[in-house]
Structure 1
Amino acid sequence: MDNPSETKYQYLAALSVNIISISYGAYCGWPSASILELASDKSPLETGPLTKHEQGWVASAVCLGGLFGAIFFVRLADKSGRKKSLLWMAIPNLLGWILIPYARNANHLIIARLIGGAAGGGVFSVIPIYVVELASNSVRGVLGTFLVLACSGGVCLAFVLGYYFDYATVSWIMATLTPAYFFCFWFMPETPQYLASRNKVKEAEYSLRYYRNIRSYSIKELSGDLQYELQKLKDTEKTDNDDTSDDSNAVTWSDFAEPKTRKAFLIGFGLIIFNQLCGCFTMLNYTAVIFEQAGASLQPTVAAIIVGAIQMLGNYVSTMLVERLGRKILLLVSAIGIGISQSVMASYSYCQVKGYQVESLNWVPIAGFSFMLFVAALGLLSLPFLVISELMPQKIRSTANMILMSVLWVISTCTIKLMPIFTEWLGMHGTVFMFASFSFGAAIFIFIFLPETKGKTVEALLASL
């Protein structure tokens, strides 16, 4: 384990960059309380209350924006650097929040959330790459979980603010996070690996020394691990300088054709599929609506705050356990726990539809939903982004992340948009039973195919596939 003094700037960087993750988390949680307000008879929109169709588009627009944001910001990260790409995300993030209070109809809200969602596409695509490239092996898992921990904090914050303020005031409050993010992250160096890949080895060595807090030591005083990291950066320079063409470093389909690389990519693809089809992220966008339909005893917005806090607790527990238990066991426990909790929730809803006397069990929706988000935060909602960045070789890491995150945003857009339709066709019980089947499928996939990535280099992981 590294000395805490050697990792403090890594923690500082991870905390600074994830301020924007808090803001994006609030984008995800904003519809929960706001849609109840905007769909009511007292809707402040000039066109009147949002219809079911419009609700689906307003909620899912943030994911559709994420699709375009993932492609744009990953390409920018490869061309201009991880840091510049992350700083540019502040613009759509801020614009999205500012436009919401001026919305006069559903189309205005959709456009605002499309713009804000573009920043979210960059958050989930570039931040995991940034963290993996700067972090020591011993803290890589902990720093990687900060992304979803910050997002869940933003979700909870949106729930709390939505209880006390109207949707426009919440937007103005959340807009203040963007300047704070820009100011804090501005001072962080570019990642050592990116600088070395661009033949800027002196800058890469400075960056490595900053993130390892070894600026005051000579090379002879460094530990063996740190000397090895510095040597790898110099080897990267020699390899790149031996190439006579800039096209030699371009990613091609043949880079994905190597069997072990292809297997790593397919594992990442499976994790992304189950991350969305387990339904947790989709249901999170409709938390208050779900509780209202389930007839929960608590006010829907209050229940949403409770489960938001529980999700944050789950993310915090994941941060504490990820380097102790490893990624695979947390993902496996998470998938099974999600499936069980969804089955209980769906059974309650089914009994309610059939007219059984379940009034004495009206605590079940809150308990089941809370447990679902807790175990989801332990693994299946939080760890796939870290594991994917750990599995992918450096050359294809950005491209693979862009492809996988694009798939994620397409699926999330479809599931969130179709959620009101699913509940209308299948009922709440049928929809949640469907999600439960995918959650159990995720457990089987993780058990069979996923290797443990804790503390291993990319080379060691690929060799184990």
Structure 2
Amino acid sequence: MFNNFNLRLILAVCTVNLLAFATGNVYSWSSSALITLKTPEESPLDHAVTPMEESLIASLLSLGALFGPPLAGFSSNLLGRKTTLMVFALPMVLSNLIIIFATETSHFYIARVLTGISAGGVYTVVPMYVGEISETTIRGFLAGFIGIFYSLGLLFNYVVGPLVSLQTLSIIMIVPIVLFLIFFGMFIPESPYYYFAKGRDIQAKESLMKLRNTFEEKELAFIEETLSKSKTDISISSLFGNTAFRRAITLTTTIVILQQLVGISAILAYMDDIFIASGSTISSSTSTTIVAVIQVLSVVLSSCLADKLGRRILLMVSNTLCALSLFPLGFYFYIKHNGGDVSALWYLPILCVIGFIIGYNFGLCTIPWTLLGELFTNETKAIASSVTTVSCFSFAFLFSFLFPHLKVLIGFSGVFWFCGCIGIIHLVFISIFLPETKGKSFAEILALLEGSGSEKDTYESLKMSKVTSS
């Protein structure tokens, strides 16, 4: 993987994923913030939040995220991937400023919607941008950086959140966004695919020169050939009449919907509550930090394996581990709810949550976004990203909003058993319908989705044919 280590490309991917770090911050924010807002002595509000207010504060992030993808998808084609990402960073800054001065529940509602809009834009455009600037041989590894930085953002807030006030935390959370705006804006180029699609060949060449250790004209020719093959009428009727697009959008939307129904958004938002309810002898903040550290390590491992084992295998293993972790977690809460003695099983909640997080980050955290950057043509990528991301955040909002009500209605045990069953359904779906995209070029993946997969169109084979012909 690292025979031709490309520091320029790695730095570009790390810089753009500062937004993924910031997104991880806002998703883990509610874990400690809700505890504070339920404690009148510490809360900036004049009352402890009610269960309904708690549900809205936790879930409005995902509701706001529904508006980000269509706006970001349209903007990414009109203004470019780079400009769009910089614009969508601004609502996240504004939301933190609102929280710094918040004194009413409505202020938190507005802030969460705004930061959700940013999150929706990040998950629409970052996978698209990284997929377009990456070299084929390490595309899976680099696509996994969004999960790595997201997990680091989660870890940061799980560790720092309980130690500082909400106002101080919001000030700290602005820092990575400002760093992104400075370094991405000044030093990182626009996607060469976007430049080529707009007929700006000179800028496309300059972009590749900034992203590669050694520049090859053959890569420009390959990008141009890939774009020429993918040009099509992008009306809605023609899109869904196209076999490759229809199959790809069905795969990505189904995968992200099942990803959310496995319960990740709710578990992240209510992790402190889960550990408090478990009665574990380990404090909730310590348990949460341990889980977050494990999350970072597991997503790094997944990213390193994406170009070795392939996307399909990682997703199958991921769902299996999630299901195997959720069923015993549900069993623990079932015994506890029915008055059983669980003192001898004090270790089980944290062990199960760690197992779930390892499983989720082994594939479910990163691979859906890798596929989003791989399965679509340049013309359809923005539309597909919007549809897929809206589907993801719709179900993230739905599950996060319903979680506190479901835990009252069917208990923690019922919720975790339901999520475990979803993991099994997801495993079956992946094993039957998802093709492997590891190591394949965009043109080759398109042919695979159309049912005419060939090994003739890869960038590497194109280079070899040019060498032999010369």
Quickly name the TM-score band, shorter chain normalised.
Answer: over 0.9
- Structure 2: which amino acid aligns with 1:38? L
Q: Which residue of 2 aligns with 1:95?
A: 94
2:323 is matched by which residue type in structure 1?
A: G
**2:253–2:387 CA contact under 8 A, matched in 1:** no
1:203 corresponds in structure 2 to 203
Could you say which residue in structure 1 is the equivalent of 2:401?
Answer: 417
Cα–Cα, structure 1 residues 352 and 234, in superposed 2: closer, same or farther, change >3 Å? closer
> Map of 1:116-195 to 2, 5 A cutoff?
116-186=115-185, 187-195=187-195
Alignment of 1:207-246 (within 5 A): 207-214=207-214, 222=216, 227=218, 229-235=219-225
One-letter amino acid of the counterpart of residue 194, structure 1: Y
Question: Is the CA contact 1:32–1:288 (under 8 Å) kept in the aligned structure 2?
Answer: yes
**CA distance in 2 between partners of 1:251 and 1:4 (Å):** 41
Structure-2 separation of matches of 1:207 and 1:426: 54
Match of 1:55 in 2: 54
Alignment of 1:358 with 2:357, yes or no, is no
**TM-aligned CA distance change 1:356 to 1:235, over 3 Å:** closer
Shift of 1:374: 1.1
The worse-fitting range, judged by mean Cα deviation, of 75-84 and 86-95 is: 86-95
5 Å-filtered alignment, 1:15-414, equals 15-186=14-185, 187-214=187-214, 222=216, 227=218, 229-235=219-225, 250-414=234-398
Question: Aligned partner of 1:128: which letter?
Answer: P
Match of 2:418 in 1: 434
Q: Which residue type is aligned with residue 151 of structure 2?
A: S
Q: Distance in 2 between matches of 1:239 and 1:341?
A: 44
Letter in 1 for 2:271: T
| Matched-pair contact (CA < 8 Å) for 1:56–1:416 | yes
Q: Which amino acid aligns with 1:392?
A: F
Task: Give 1:40 shift.
Answer: 2.1
Cα distance in 1, alignment partners of residues 63 and 128 from structure 2: 22
**1:179, distance to aligned residue in structure 2 (A):** 1.2
Q: Match of 1:218?
A: none
8 A contact 2:253–2:388 mirrored in 1 = yes
Secondary structure of the residue that 1:451 maps to in structure 2?
coil
State how far apart, in whole Å, the 2-side matches of 1:294 and 1:397 are. 43
Deviations 1:230-272 (A, max 9, x none): 11344578889xx9xxxx7644331231123211111111111
1:137-187 C-alpha deviation (Å, 9 max, x unpaired)? 111111101001101110110011112112221111111111111111112
Q: Deviations over 1:280-305 (max 9, x none)?
A: 22211110011111111111122111
5+ long unaligned stretches in structure 2: 450-470
Give the Cα–Cα distance (whole angstroms) in 2 for the partners of residues 250 and 198 of structure 1.
16
Look up the SS of the partner of 2:137 in the other structure: coil
Distance 1:408 1:250, change over 3 A: same
Q: 1:234 to 1:366 in 2, by over 3 A?
A: closer
Q: CA deviation at 1:210?
A: 2.1
Closer/same/farther in 2, CA of residues 70 and 238 from structure 1, 3 Å limit: closer
Contact 2:316 2:431 in 1 (8 A): yes
TM-score by length of 1: 0.93
Alignment partners' CA distance in 1, 2:351 and 2:331: 13
Q: Secondary structure at the match of 1:371?
A: helix
Counterpart amino acid of 2:43? P
Q: Following the alignment from structure 1 to structure 2, what is the Cα–Cα distance between the partners of residues 97 and 252?
A: 37
Q: 1:51 to 1:202 in 2, by over 3 A?
A: same
Shift of the 310–434 alpha-carbon distance from structure 1 to 2, 3 Å rule, reads: same
In structure 2, relative to structure 1, the CA distance for the partners of 1:451 and 1:237 (3 Å cut) is closer
Higher mean alpha-carbon deviation, 441-450 vs 66-75, is at 66-75
What TM-score results when the alignment is normalised by the length of structure 2?
Answer: 0.92
Structure-2 separation of matches of 1:171 and 1:17: 21
Native 8 Å contact 1:251 1:395 kept in 2: no
Residue deviations 1:286-341, cap 9 Å, x none? Answer: 10011111111111122111111111111111122111111111110000100010
8 Å CA contact 1:201–1:233 kept in 2: the answer is no
RMSD of the TM alignment (CA)?
1.8
Instruction: Find the residue that maps to 2:254 and give its secondary structure.
Output: helix
Q: 3-state DSSP class of the match of 1:89?
A: helix
Q: How many residues get paired?
A: 448
Amino acid at match of 2:91: P
Once the 2 structures are TM-superposed, how far is the Cα of residue 3 of structure 1 from its aligned partner? 4.5
Secondary structure in 2 matching 1:331 = helix
Cα 1:210–1:3 change in 2 (3 A) is: farther
Q: Match of 1:144, as an amino acid?
A: A
Secondary structure of 2:190's match?
A: coil
Residue ranges of structure 1 left out of the alignment (5+ in a row): 216-221
Aligned 8 A contact 1:192 1:208 in 2: yes
* Structure 1 contact 350–429 (Cα < 8 Å) conserved: yes
Secondary structure, counterpart of 1:48 in structure 2 = coil
AA aligned to 2:201 is V
> Partner amino acid for 1:168?
Q
2:37–2:45 CA contact under 8 A, matched in 1: no
User: Contact 1:201–1:234 at 8 Å: present in 2 too?
Assistant: no
Cα distance, 1:32 vs structure 2: 0.4
Superposed CA deviations along residues 200-234 of structure 1, whole A, max 9, x for unmatched, are 1111122122222235xxxxxx4xxx61x211344
- CA-CA distance at 1:4 after TM superposition: 2.7
Q: Which amino acid aligns with 2:222?
A: K
AA partner of residue 206 (structure 1): E
Seen in structure 2, the aligned counterparts of structure 1 residues 287 and 236 have a Cα distance that, compared at 3 Å, is closer
User: For the Cα contact (< 8 Å) 2:227–2:378, is it kept in 1?
Assistant: no
Shift of 1:43: 4.3
**Alpha-carbon distance in 2 for matches of 1:342, 1:136:** 37
